[in-house]
Homo-oligomer: A and B are copies of this chain.
């Protein structure tokens, strides 16, 4: 069995392979998971604040975000999720959702019953460790975003986010070295970074005029990745990738 060829078909395999060492047996077990694929339109919720999910959602294609709406109507986006990610893996151990997960563009999502996952993890402690690790890396990303919103300028924050997505997309084969598709509006960027749309727009123009990014029509080109990383004070070690 050639697992390399399955990476395309099953992005979860690709993703976990980028953060943990898996045996062939474990990889096979992952491939054997029963998946129900469902397509979500742009701006539709996959899981809602207050829900008690009985399955986890694995992103197969598209772009997904984790967010919460505050009483005053403001929205905070707490993370972007890409193919291979299981944004609500936590629902395995936290019964009630304390936020929502939504598709930003049309996305195909595989639903995996909790039952199947629990069964899998019982039999394969290595996979249990890998998924626990995955949730810990998620937490590390939250921390890094916290640092950004607490102590970095808007300019740095945006540069940092663009770098994070570069690295993560590349780890699952969805980015080339110098760019990727970014199907996110400036409004959504603002909600993710704690900024107003207007300010995001102005800072993006700064980044453009400095030649750090070329961004239009949802396509991002990064002429010099290291320069952008420096501008965003970005160090990928918090993503805990294997190499």
Which residues from chain A sit less than 8 Å from chain B, CB to CB? 66, 68, 70-71, 74-76, 78, 90, 93-94, 96, 98-99, 122, 125, 128-129, 132-133, 135-140, 142-143, 145-147, 149-152, 191, 193-194, 233, 237-238, 240
Contact = CB atoms under 8 A, between A and B. Distances in A.
A145 B71 CA distance: 16
Copies of this chain, tallied across the complex: 2
Given A150-B193, A151-B194, A132 B133 contact: no
B125 A70 contact: no
Contacts of A152: 70
Contact of A96 (B129, B151, B237): B237
A94 B136 contact: yes
26 contacts: A68-B143, A70-B152, A76-B147, A78-B147, A90-B139, A90-B140, A93-B133, A93-B136, A94-B136, A94-B137, A94-B140, A96-B237, A98-B140, A98-B240, A132-B135, A135-B139, A139-B139, A139-B142, A142-B142, A142-B146, A146-B149, A149-B149, A149-B194, A150-B191, A150-B194, A151-B194
